[in-house]
Structure 1
Amino acid sequence: MTTFQRKPIFDAARVLMGRGFTRSDIDLLDDAIDEALGIEKPKTGARRTSAAGIALMHKWEGCGKRCDDGSLQAYPDPGSSNGKPWTIGWGSTGPDIGPGTIWTQAQADARFERDLVKFERGVSLAIGDALTTQNQFDALVSFHYNTGEIGSATLTKLHVAGDYAGAAAEFGKWIYNDGKPMNGLRNRRADEAALYRRAA
């Protein structure tokens, strides 16, 4: 599948239009790009991660392991005994990723956007109609993106019950990989808990 960089498309459209974008213009162009990339769109009214939430995930899922030409190379999980799962781009894993996998930045960005919709949906299903601020939602999506455990985590149950202090305290328990505490996970969970606690 051909992938696209969004900025050049937006820049070209801005020149053609001879003006800046309205919010509606941005949404329409984003929809067109998503359709071209085959990115599944969330249902109308579905919760979406804010820029702050995406920035947090990008901080901890940084596109590391770059080749000299700027492309991205898959790398083994540094905390697991067998190196699995192999990871590339913005923390992407899966059966299509392993030793020798090489992506462009555009491929990494497109995969992140597609996967983000899936994890947002997972959080939305897990929390149902529980009262949730944008910052709480963003923190939960980041947690789920990294652990895949939003459906079974105690912090989800506490959040749904309205015990926000208890839920925030649960983030710090998810710092282990192969039974070993990891400083990177400890720091990420601290960032997620701080975002979760932040006033709307």
Structure 2
Amino acid sequence: MANIRGKAITGASCAVMTIIAIVVSSGLVRTSEAGLELIGDAESCQRDPYVCPAGVLSDGIGNTHGVKAGVRKSDAQIAADWEKNILQAESCVNKYSNGKKLNQGQFDATVSVTFNVGCGAMQKSTMFWKFRQGKMIEACNEFPRWVYADGKKLSGLVTRREKEKALCLKG
């Protein structure tokens, strides 16, 4: 069993950094390598379908679209799914959070939370409203509010939101 970044890698796991390299090489996403690493490390990478903490069947790096029980994916398939999901999150941030006016850190952090929570919840959020109003620091301070899944506060989300907030404030 190999070990990458302190995480055990088994036959069903995949390397986040390998998937990031594939996605970055396409040149289609605005999210930086640091932003992709934040998302990838928080989500981890699994070739086989699994049920996430929110109870949703997932695979790859937090992918929930077209997941089929018992179907193992290749690095290329995982990267293609993830790229599509990142582009959807970026589109949401651009449309509802004035993403084109966000600096790289703000954009990366906001894409991360949107990827995790979904556009539907984020587009109506106070965070997005504050970004649209140009209240950048206030918007960055909203990240710690997004730490619940299925009504339960999750320590993994607390850690992720701290990292997103720090990236957002760092710019």
Same fold (TM over 0.5): yes
Which residue does 2:61 correspond to in 1? 90
Structure 1 runs (4+) greater than 2 angstroms displaced: 127-131
* Match runs of 1:116-127 below 5 Å: 116-127=86-97
CA RMSD in angstroms comes to 2.2
Q: Map 1:36-185 to 2 at 5 A.
A: 48-64=30-46, 72-77=47-52, 79-80=53-54, 83=55, 85-94=56-65, 96-128=66-98, 131-148=101-118, 149-185=121-157
2:93/2:99 contact within 8 Å kept: no
The percentage of counterpart residues that share the same residue type is: 31
* Aligned residue in 2 for 1:18: none
- TM-score normalized by the length of structure 1: 0.67
Deviation at 1:74, TM superposition (A): 0.6
C-alpha distance in structure 1 between counterparts of 2:68 and 2:138, whole Å = 38
Whole-angstrom CA distance in 2 between matches of 1:189 and 1:170: 9
Count of equivalent residues: 147
Gaps of 5+ in 1: 1-6, 8-26, 32-40, 42-46, 65-71
| Per-residue Cα deviation, 1:148-199 (whole angstroms, up to 9, x for no partner) | 1331111111111122222122110111111110001111111100100004
* Residue identity in the other structure for 1:163: K
| Alignment deviations for residues 25-62 of structure 1 (CA, whole Å, 9 cap, x no partner) | xx9x847xxxxxxxxx6xxxxx8111111111111121
Letter of the 1:76 counterpart: V
Residues 90-145 of structure 1, C-alpha deviations (whole Å, 9 max, x = no match): 11002x21432321122111211122112111111112377311110111111100
* Rg (Cα) greater in structure: 1
Change (3 A) 1:162 1:75: same
Q: Aligned equivalents of 1:87 and 1:110: distance in 2?
A: 15
In 2, Cα distance between equivalents of 1:117 and 1:164 = 22
SS of the residue 2:50 aligns to: coil
Richer in strand (by share):
2
